[in-house]
Amino acid sequence: MSIKVAEIQRRNNFVDYPSLHELGDDAKMCDAIEKGKRLIDRSIPILILGETGTGKEYLSRALHAYSARRTATCVTVNCASIPDSLAESELFGYCRGAFSGALPGGMKGKVQQADGGTLFLDEIGDMPFALQTRLLRVLSEREVIPLGAAQPVPVDLHLISATHQNLHELVAAGRFREDLYYRIAGGVLRLPALRERTDLRPLIMQMLRDELPPHRTPEQSISAQALDLLLRYRWPGNLRQMHAVIRFACAVMNGLQIQVNDLPEELIPVVTSDQSVGLRGLAQSTFSPSAKQPDSVNAQTGSLRYDERARVLDALNNSRWNISAASRQLGMCRASLYRKLRQLEIPHVRDQTKFVQGQAVIFPLGCIASNQPEYAT
């Protein structure tokens, strides 16, 4: 990129703004993005809801970069992290000599800094009540009065807010102003948790592409077993956790492919003393037995798949992975069993070797049933 283009991008704040098409192919995510595009075009205040780490700030920055205001700044304020005593001056600014200890030239608050651009209020549910009243005035009058100022200053901004909290409950508990809720929630976008999303594989590939040197292909840089674990994990920390895991694996990998042992401990199933497969560090519930994450909607399908996977793995273990014997036991032909293995994403046993206490042992990635190590290599 030429220095001139880089300078224009830096000046215009394009750098670090993700583009909307990088946010994924999941249907719920695409629905949120499409609604977001229509709302921001019409300058309707957007409220983004979702568990922590689901990409609320990421989406808000991408929407800003898409909007007509993209050449101005997107200013982020984390309402949970500003101390109460500083919140007012941080948000609304102050004039020269407004209080002892103030900067001699005064200070522009975040609201004024966002003039012409976008103001992103993260964790809005944590905004102190007194500040909510002042924010409401800014939003309804479209002007801000810095501390110590006699005259209001007009501001023109697009507002995006986000929270992982239930604002209706906060309103009912008297901790969030109802009138402010209706002012900020012109359009509500709900982001799915990562475990509900159907586009984990492309997301993982995209994150790998971002971390790997440009000449490396993401698909060839991760082993089938490591990818299988990433696809079946429940991701309680959502995209933030997935991003951290991929960065970790890319940093520690020794060779051309990320292996199971390059993943953080909590993702790796281990053979426990009673020879059954357990999980290090985390509750079993953080893993799903199927590659596609079952959620409340497809829980029944997920449980059927779980049963079938368990049945197939049992037959394979009983026959010591002799495909003919296992297919006889399951009452199907060899070709059908191979097809079933692909369908249930069960890698062949020879691809599932792992070293435990210096010895190579096999543990089926189904993480079900008691698994005698099949053979040492």
Q: Give contact residues for ligand ATP (rule: CB under 6 A).
A: 22-24, 50, 52-58, 122, 162, 164, 207, 239-240, 243
By beta-carbon proximity to ligand ATP, the closer residue of 293 and 352 is 293
By beta-carbon proximity to ligand ATP, the closer residue of 80 and 270 is 80
Write down the least CB distance from residue 164 to ligand ATP, Å.
Answer: 5
Write down the least CB distance from residue 140 to ligand ATP, Å.
Answer: 26
* Backbone phi and psi for residue 57, each to the nearest 5 degrees, phi listed first: -70, -40
By beta-carbon proximity to ligand ATP, the closer residue of 122 and 228 is 122
By beta-carbon proximity to ligand ATP, the closer residue of 234 and 305 is 234
Closest CA to 185 of 177, 197, 174: 177
Write down the least CB distance from residue 79 to ligand ATP, Å.
Answer: 11
Write down the least CB distance from residue 233 to ligand ATP, Å.
Answer: 15
Write down the least CB distance from residue 239 to ligand ATP, Å.
Answer: 4
* Backbone phi and psi for residue 171, each to the nearest 5 degrees, phi listed first: -65, -45
Write down the least CB distance from residue 243 to ligand ATP, Å.
Answer: 4
Q: Are 280 and 286 in contact (CB under 8 A)?
A: no
Task: Return d(Cα 95, Cα 88) in angstroms, integer.
Answer: 13
By beta-carbon proximity to ligand ATP, the closer residue of 87 and 323 is 87
Task: Return d(Cα 109, Cα 23) in angstroms, integer.
Answer: 31
Task: Return d(Cα 1, Cα 322) in angstroms, integer.
Answer: 56
Which one-letter DSSP state was computed for residue 196?
A: G
The DSSP string of 80-117 is TTS-HHHHHHHHHEE-TTSSTT--TT-EE-HHHHTTTS
By beta-carbon proximity to ligand ATP, the closer residue of 201 and 328 is 201
